[in-house]
């Protein structure tokens, strides 16, 4: 298709409902696909638009009542473009007004003719920016006039809107391509990591592959440091590729051996899978607080009365309250309840149900070594941490460990951020931290979002330099307040209406985007909208294959100097109060 040949003319529309475009006679309606990008050339401005619907029209009801015979191709060609035609609905996303058009506003109004609507120097398609600094893309606050011509978006348009990966002014990362063009689409990683983000889609749509792409970009561009809670052991060393024939893809440790450190909560499982240099991670009872138990109350079947008595026990015995409870006999429980106004039945039920924690391989009565401080040391040293769960990937195990570790890491970052705000010293500024969690609706549902550290992080946004990357197939289960704080949403195919509604919480023009999301393929397609992209865009995701490994991997590396690691260890201990 000739990019400089107009496809159609704007015949009507509104700012709120979008534009209706009638296709020219020589343009096949079958070439128009939902999610396609087009440029409308107005008198003064160019409008970058997304195609949201395709319809067929006729000029007379008589044609529908007496359609031409299928074999009569001559009559069909006579009617095409006049009696029968195609129309498309466009939603303007951005507009670009050249400075020359602004200074010659009166001249533009006086020369409103066919020539003024041709592709001309200064339009979005012919504008070739040298740097991102001299591009000003504006929100759409008006619409083009009647009969403005519509063109296919070309590579220069995408470059002007989404930037390019080697832009010296931004940390851009190629996430994919438009569904009908071989043009790279970039996201701005600096804007991506400064807010919490989400990767959504039903099971089997490639959420894990998308997440690996994003994490690889963050590592390569050094946009932030990552803490990844790897529920199914898919991000650290390697993961199975979906398909008829079994094969594996590289994990982050293989791509960036000098920058990624794996910790495991199940050392035996990690060794069986051949993971190299993974460090063990254990949690002691004195690191578990009542707030952590409130998160897993359904998995442990804890009543409200049991949790209230847990608070009484914690107030009496301090951090060692769980270890003390598990060793108490009936007489000691009875004596405790008489002196502290506790409920014997509730405390005995709590004791009985907390014995399930002994089944978790990473739980210890006490740990002489503080493993959470060791994780923080790695993060302070600039290393990206993947915490694998191995066979401990059930919800009780995952939710408990994730909340305990993240709460302490966040507490350390709060101390670092407060110190930076006090000193204003650049060397004290914490490095941006992105925490990746799966099954996010379990942590962020309306009943528990205010009790978990992840709800706190999502609401605080970038205040303490910690943000979330949530991976989930049930966005409708996430609290609306938290969803409204999700800066960038990368969404694969969803079928449930409630999940689709949740994706567009707080998004203007959601109705037109709903039809785009519903038409995605089940594999390797996603809708990106939010803070890290200038406008919503449907992409064919970048392949995660050997070519990607060669482009982004870090095969030559050296370990960090000992002095750097020692300094990180000292900083971590200070942040955690040791």
Distance (Å, rounded) from C-alpha 478 to C-alpha 457? 14
* Three-class SS state of 513: helix
pTM comes to 0.82
Please list, in sequence order, all residues whose beta carbon lies within 8 angstroms of the beta carbon of residue 237, skipping any fewer than 6 positions away. Answer: 251, 253, 254, 262, 273, 274, 275, 276
Distance (Å, rounded) from C-alpha 344 to C-alpha 335? 9
Is 186-282+367-565 CATH 3.40.50.300? yes
Distance (Å, rounded) from C-alpha 246 to C-alpha 81? 51
Q: Are strands 185-188 and 172-178 parallel, antiparallel or unpaired?
A: antiparallel
Distance (Å, rounded) from C-alpha 100 to C-alpha 123? 10
CB 7, CB 151: distance < 8 Å:
yes
The pair of structure tokens assigned to 384 is 């990206």
| Residue whose entry in the numeric block shows the structure tokens 């590396």 | 557
| Residue whose entry in the numeric block shows the structure tokens 């079928």 | 495
- Return the domain boundaries, the chain: 8-161, 186-282+367-565, 286-360
The pair of structure tokens assigned to 481 is 């307040």
Q: Which class for 449: exposed (0-12), middle (13-18), buried (19 or more C-beta within 10 A)?
A: buried
Q: 327-336 burial, b if ≥16 CB within 10 A, otherwise e?
A: ebeeeebeeb
CB 251, CB 239: distance < 8 Å:
yes
* Three-class SS state of 21: strand
* Rg (the chain; Cα; Å): 29
Distance (Å, rounded) from C-alpha 186 to C-alpha 161? 9
- Nearest CA among 573, 554, 207, 197 for reference residue 383: 554
The pair of structure tokens assigned to 470 is 């949530």
| Residue whose entry in the numeric block shows the structure tokens 């790279």 | 184
Distance (Å, rounded) from C-alpha 164 to C-alpha 257? 27
Give, for 185, the enclosing helix (H) or strand (E): strand 185-188
pLDDT tens, N- to C-terminus, the chain (578 residues): 445 789 999 999 998 889 999 999 888 888 888 888 899 998 888 899 989 889 988 888 877 777 887 887 777 777 776 788 889 999 998 888 765 444 444 443 344 333 433 444 334 444 444 444 445 788 888 999 999 999 998 888 888 888 888 888 888 999 999 887 888 999 999 999 999 999 999 888 888 889 999 999 999 999 999 999 988 888 888 888 776 667 888 899 999 988 999 999 988 888 888 887 889 999 999 888 888 888 888 888 888 888 898 999 899 888 889 998 888 888 888 888 888 888 888 889 998 998 888 888 888 888 888 888 899 999 999 999 999 988 877 888 888 899 899 888 888 988 988 888 888 888 888 889 999 998 888 888 887 777 778 888 888 766 888 999 999 999 989 888 888 888 899 999 888 888 888 888 777 667 778 878 877 888 888 999 888 998 888 899 998 888 888 888 664 444 444 444 445 555 555 555 54
- Specify the pLDDT at position 441: 85
3-state helix, strand, coil in the chain (%, to 5): 40, 20, 40
CB 542, CB 174: distance < 8 Å:
yes
């Amino acid at each position: 298709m000739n990019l400089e040949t107009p496809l159609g003319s704007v015949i009507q529309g509104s700012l709120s409902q979008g534009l209706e475009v009638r296709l020219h006679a020589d343009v096949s309606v079958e070439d128009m696909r939902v999610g396609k990008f087009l440029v409308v050339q107005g008198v003064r401005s160019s409008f970058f638009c997304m195609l949201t619907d395709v319809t067929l029209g006729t000029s007379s009801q008589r044609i529908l009542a007496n359609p031409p015979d299928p074999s009569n191709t001559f009559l069909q060609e006579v009617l095409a473009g006049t009696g029968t035609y195609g129309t498309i609905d466009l939603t303007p996303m951005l507009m670009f007004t050249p400075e020359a058009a602004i200074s010659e506003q009166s001249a533009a109004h006086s020369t409103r003719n066919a020539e003024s609507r041709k592709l001309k120097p200064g339009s979005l398609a012919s504008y070739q920016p040298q740097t991102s600094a001299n591009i000003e893309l504006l929100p759409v606050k008006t619409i083009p006039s009647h009969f403005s011509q519509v063109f296919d978006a070309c590579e220069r348009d995408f470059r002007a809107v989404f930037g390019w990966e080697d832009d010296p002014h931004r940390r851009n990362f190629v996430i994919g391509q438009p569904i009908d063009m071989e043009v790279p689409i970039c996201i701005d990683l600096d804007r991506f990591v400064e807010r919490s983000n989400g990767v959504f889609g039903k099971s089997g749509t490639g959420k894990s592959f998308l997440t690996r792409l994003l994490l690889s970009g963050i590592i390569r561009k050094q946009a932030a440091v990552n803490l990844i809670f790897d529920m199914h052991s898919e991000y650290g060393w390697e993961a199975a590729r979906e398909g008829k024939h079994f094969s594996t893809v590289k994990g982050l440790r293989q791509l960036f051996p000098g920058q990624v450190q794996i910790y495991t909560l199940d050392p035996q499982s990690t060794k069986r899978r051949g993971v190299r240099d993974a460090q063990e991670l254990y949690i002691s009872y004195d690191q578990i607080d009542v707030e952590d138990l409130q998160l897993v109350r359904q998995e442990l079947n804890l009543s409200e009365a049991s949790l209230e008595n847990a608070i009484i026990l914690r107030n009496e015995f301090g951090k060692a309250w769980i270890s003390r409870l598990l060793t108490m006999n009936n007489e000691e429980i009875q004596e405790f309840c008489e002196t502290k106004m506790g409920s014997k039945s509730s405390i005995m039920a709590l004791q009985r149900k907390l014995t399930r924690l002994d089944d978790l391989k990473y739980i210890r009565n006490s740990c002489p070594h503080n493993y959470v401080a060791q994780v923080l040391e790695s993060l302070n040293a600039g290393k990206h941490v993947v915490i694998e769960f191995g066979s401990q990937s059930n919800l009780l195990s995952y939710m408990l460990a994730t909340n305990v570790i993240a709460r302490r890491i966040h507490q350390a970052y709060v101390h670092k951020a407060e110190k930076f705000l006090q000193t204003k010293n650049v060397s004290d500024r914490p490095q941006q931290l992105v925490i990746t969690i799966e099954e996010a609706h379990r942590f962020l549902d309306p009943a528990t979002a205010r009790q978990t550290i992840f709800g706190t992080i999502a609401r605080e946004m970038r205040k303490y330099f910690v943000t979330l990357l949530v991976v989930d197939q049930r966005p409708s289960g996430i609290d609306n307040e938290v969803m409204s704080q999700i800066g960038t949403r990368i969404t694969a195919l969803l079928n449930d209406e409630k999940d689709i509604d949740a994706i567009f919480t707080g998004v203007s023009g959601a109705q037109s985007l709903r039809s785009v999301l519903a038409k995605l393929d089940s594999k390797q397609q996603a809708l990106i909208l939010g803070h890290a992209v200038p406008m919503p865009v449907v992409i064919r995701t970048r392949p995660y294959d050997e070519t990607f490994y060669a482009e982004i991997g870090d095969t030559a590396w050296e370990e960090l100097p000992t002095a750097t690691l020692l300094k990180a260890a000292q900083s971590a201990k200070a942040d955690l109060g040791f």
